[in-house]
Amino acid sequence: MRIISIMNQKGGCGKTTTAINLSAFLAEFGKKVLLIDLDPQGHSTAGFNIKENMIELGLFDVFTKQASLEDIIKLQVYPGLDLAPTTVRLSAIEQYLSGTFERERQLRYHLEKLQLPFIYDYIIIDCPPHLGLLVFNALMASGEVIVPIEPSSFSLQGINKLLETIELLKENAHHLLKVMALPTIYNHHSHFSREILKQILNKFQDLTLKAVIRQNVKLKEAAQKGCPISVYDRQSFGAEDYQSLAFEIIQQDEPSFIWPGKTPKEEKQETPVESVSIQPEIKEESFVQEIMVIAQPSEKKIDGAPQEERSRNNA
């Protein structure tokens, strides 16, 4: 079982969008997935059209020991995908846990208690956008972190603080985490976006995923409708990119995993996000490596898109 936190201290970087759509596409690839909405704003919960007044028990009740994690899980919010929902009450949990022994390990303890049928291939945790006790609970429960990075200078500055936090966990809690950077909200028509992406690749190349999530209004529309992009518009750039991300994540553990419906030859030609429109001169080699765990090296190469893709509307 892989437990992956999605986090960034900066809002508006596609954190929750990534949590929702990565979870949905992992499930579509046949994996059993649990999405944990650890953000008191509850956007991942709303992303599956679950209103707060529909939630009798949430993560607040789990942390306060009024319910088990199994009690609150909503089954099959999407085929193959379960959800641990939250409400705004979770925003008060840090004060409640302040005097609790091993308060930063509470989520981990609850996950360790899960039994059949609550056994998953992947657990995805949508973290709050600020550092605090909930984020530390997510990190201590996880083995991996995906950090969505939008193309802005502020994002580059924020990622340094996040890496410092993860390093503190290594030194003080002896907890190992693999970090993966995910470029998001990328506008392939923008020279500024291309330059920032180049900086991301230069600065974090050994941490960067191959997938790049292009800017796509359909992703926002899907969130407003309360459904994953795969349901709202399967032909959109957003759907293509998150499907590619899910495939890449699975292949890290299962190199022989084949994209369903594609032959190995087609899969090699259409491997995720090689079609992202970046100027041909922006080519980087990178290795998906851990901050604390050594992963298999993989070549990163992002080429210019064919003319027909560049002429498509970035709907």
First-to-last C-alpha distance (Å) of the chain:
36
**Domain coordinates in residue numbering, the chain:** 2-310
295 and 252 in contact (C-beta within 8 Å)?
A: yes
Cross-strand bridge partners of residue 37:
126
Residue-wise pLDDT tens digits, 72-91: 999 999 999 999 999 999 99
How do residues 189-205 score in pLDDT, each as one tens digit? Answer: 788 888 888 888 887 77
Give the pLDDT confidence score for residue 262 in this predicted structure: 65
The span from the CA of 105 to the CA of 208, in Å, is 28
Low-confidence ranges of the chain (pLDDT < 70): 261-315
Separation of CA 241 from chain center: 13
Mark out the alpha helices in the chain (DSSP H runs). 15-28, 43-46, 59-63, 69-72, 93-97, 106-112, 133-141, 153-168, 191-204, 217-225, 229-232, 237-253, 264-269, 307-310
Pairing of strands 74-78, 81-84: antiparallel
CATH 3.40.50.300 for domain 2-310: yes
Query: How far is residue 16's CA from residue 199's CA, in Å, rounded to a whole number?
Result: 24
Q: Note the pTM of the prediction, 2 decimals.
A: 0.81
Separation of alpha carbons 46 and 301, rounded Å: 36
